A and B are shown apart, each in its own frame.
Chain A
Amino acid sequence: MSLSSRFENIEMVQHLCSKLLEGRDIPEELRHWILMAVREGLANAIKHGNQQDQSKHVHLEMDIVGDTLAISIRDEGEGFEPEEVADPLAPENRLKTSGRGIFYMRTFMDDVRFRRHASGGMEIVLKKNLGALNEKEGKPA
């Protein structure tokens, strides 16, 4: 699926992801954190990747294979070096007004990977194991 770079599309994708999770025995709290990670990934692609240029698109794939939810979000921007993103927990960064989106994705999902896509842009792949979960595991660490 390809979407224009508009923040309004974030809720639509959250709704689609929620529909994908329907029928699975997932604690409400875990569902909330997954949807927040999706929100952060899309916001990152629209704002930082595509610079809100509505002529650029965000490319999205979502699927559940076995017990694993996998979400790929790719922008058409210039990309970035994930290891250069500042640690929002460092005392000097704690009061910064931005720079927490990737941290939240990493906190709420089991696996978050970044790569420069062959056809350009940056791709983020978020994964969450939906198997053998309970309420306690639904909470962020």
Chain B
Amino acid sequence: MKTNVRDAGGVQVVELKGKITIGSGDVQLRETINKLVDSGKKHILVEMKEVTTIDSSGIGELVGCYTSVTNKGGKLKLLHLPPKINDVLTVTQLITVFDVYESESEALASFRG
């Protein structure tokens, strides 16, 4: 998995590309988010558009990241969920946990609200 982090008006947009699966991308996701949290970043938007595959391990890491950010008083939201990842989050009822957006501008605005 490839990651890129960019600042969008104080919100850290974490762009993920590729697979978030066991042994490949799951730990990388955690390390990327933890680094942001440790440096005091509290508003994180995870761009999922180019995530091709996710498994239970990747879902677990996503949940762990959400908890880490929330516990530090921050917010982690998701952008552009591919349909199959939406399905995977839906069957485990995690879709109700995450704030999911289809528009980056709306997602960014939601952090200011």
Contact = CB atoms under 8 A, between A and B. Distances in A.
A43 interface: yes
Contact of B63 (A96, A101, A107): A96
Interface string B75-104: 000000000100110011110010000000
Interface string A1-19: 0000001101000000000
Most B Cβ at <10 Å: residue of A32, A43, A95, A97 = A97
Main SS class of interface, B: helix
B24 interface: yes
Give the bracket for the number of chain A residues in contact with chain B: 20 to 34
A95 B21 contact: no
B55 A40 contact: yes
A30 B24 CA distance: 24
A139 B63 CA distance: 23
A101 B97 contact: no
A98 interface: yes
Interface in A85-127: 88-89, 94-101, 103-104, 107
Interface of A: 7-8, 10, 29, 32, 36, 39-40, 43, 47, 88-89, 94-101, 103-104, 107, 139-141
18 contacts: A7-B21, A7-B22, A10-B21, A39-B21, A39-B55, A40-B56, A47-B22, A95-B66, A95-B97, A97-B63, A98-B57, A100-B56, A100-B59, A104-B56, A104-B91, A104-B92, A107-B91, A141-B91
